[in-house]
């Protein structure tokens, strides 16, 4: 039986989602709990990787388990086997050919920037930023990223192609926090952190909107800030289950 599970975790307690030889990945922790339950190794397949320090409210995984157990009971048992910093939010049975990664339609990431006075309790859960920002200029710049673009200036590492689509991006202030939500079908390594970094550069007026526009519409190379991982959250993954295995 194949299961889809929605998982949340505190990324500050792990070295990223991916399985690691040192056992400090979220994937290691999930597979450890499943092995105890099943009495044998169970492979976990994730919807995507999150880097060291990045949090998740809705990471999705699938795994195969040959046990006569209801999704509710499975969720209950796994949550008692898992680290306090990982939680199974929901489990459901899915078609045997469902894949947590390849059936993704949309992902939403959120980035939290703390603009208030120094607070040690936010250090692992937001980017504590102490410079003044032009919020209206940042919102104007954010609209440039909507649609399909070549994101070669906004990713880490080399790829065969850099095209991606951003379907939604919004900025809002909540008390001392600046919240940035970005939605799209797929994201490349450090892509969200580069986008947020250049928005901050524009907000503090060290980079112009025209320069960002040129970077998205031409092969011109620009260098922008890359924000740290602790402010980043994987918020939501969407699947169209009606299209699975048709």
Rounded CA-CA distance 76/27 in Å is 19
Span 182-240, pLDDT tens digits: 999 999 999 999 999 999 999 999 999 999 998 888 777 778 889 999 999 999 999 98
Span 42-57, pLDDT tens digits: 999 999 999 999 999 9
Q: Quote the pLDDT of residue 242.
A: 47
Q: Do domains 2-102 and 108-237 have the same CATH topology?
A: yes
Q: Model pTM greater than 0.85?
A: yes
**108-237 belongs to CATH 3.30.70.660:** yes
Beta strand pairing call for 147-150 and 163-166:
antiparallel
Give DSSP secondary structure letters for 111-171: EEEE-SS--GGGTTTSEE--S---HHHHHHHHGGGSEEEE-GGGSSS--S--EEEE-EEEE
Structure tokens at 56: 């998740």
84 within 8 A of 29, measured Cβ to Cβ: no
Q: What distance separates the 2 farthest-apart alpha carbons in the chain?
A: 60
For residues 112-123, average pLDDT: 95
Span 171-190, pLDDT tens digits: 999 999 999 999 999 999 99
Domain boundaries, the chain: 2-102, 108-237
169 within 8 A of 138, measured Cβ to Cβ: no
Number of Cβ atoms within 10 Å of the Cβ of 150: 15
Q: Which positions are catalytic? A: 51
- Which CATH architecture fits 2-102? 2-Layer Sandwich (3.30)
């Amino acid at each position: 039986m194949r299961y889809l599970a929605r998982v949340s975790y505190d990324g500050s307690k792990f070295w990223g989602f991916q399985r690691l030889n040192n056992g400090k990945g979220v994937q290691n922790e999930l597979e450890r709990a499943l092995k105890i339950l099943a009495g044998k190794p169970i492979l976990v397949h994730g919807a995507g990787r999150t880097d060291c320090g990045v949090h998740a409210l809705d990471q999705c995984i699938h795994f195969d388990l040959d046990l006569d157990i209801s999704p509710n009971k499975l969720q209950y048992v796994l949550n008692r086997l898992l680290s306090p910093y990982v939680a199974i939010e929901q489990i459901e049975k899915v078609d045997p050919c469902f894949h947590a990664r390849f059936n993704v339609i949309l992902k939403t990431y959120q980035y939290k920037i703390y603009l208030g006075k120094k607070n040690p309790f936010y250090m692992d859960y937001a980017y504590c930023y102490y410079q003044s920002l032009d919020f209206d200029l940042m919102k104007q710049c954010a609209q440039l990223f909507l649609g399909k673009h070549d994101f070669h200036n906004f990713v880490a590492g080399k790829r065969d192609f850099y095209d991606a689509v951003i379907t939604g991006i919004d900025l809002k202030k909540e008390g001392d926090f600046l919240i940035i939500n970005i939605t799209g079908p797929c994201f490349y390594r450090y892509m969200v952190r580069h986008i947020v970094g250049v928005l901050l550069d524009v907000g503090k007026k060290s980079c112009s909107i025209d320069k960002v526009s040129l970077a998205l519409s031409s092969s011109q190379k620009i260098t922008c800030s890359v924000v740290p991982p602790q402010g980043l959250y994987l918020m939501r993954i969407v699947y169209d289950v009606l299209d699975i295995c048709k």
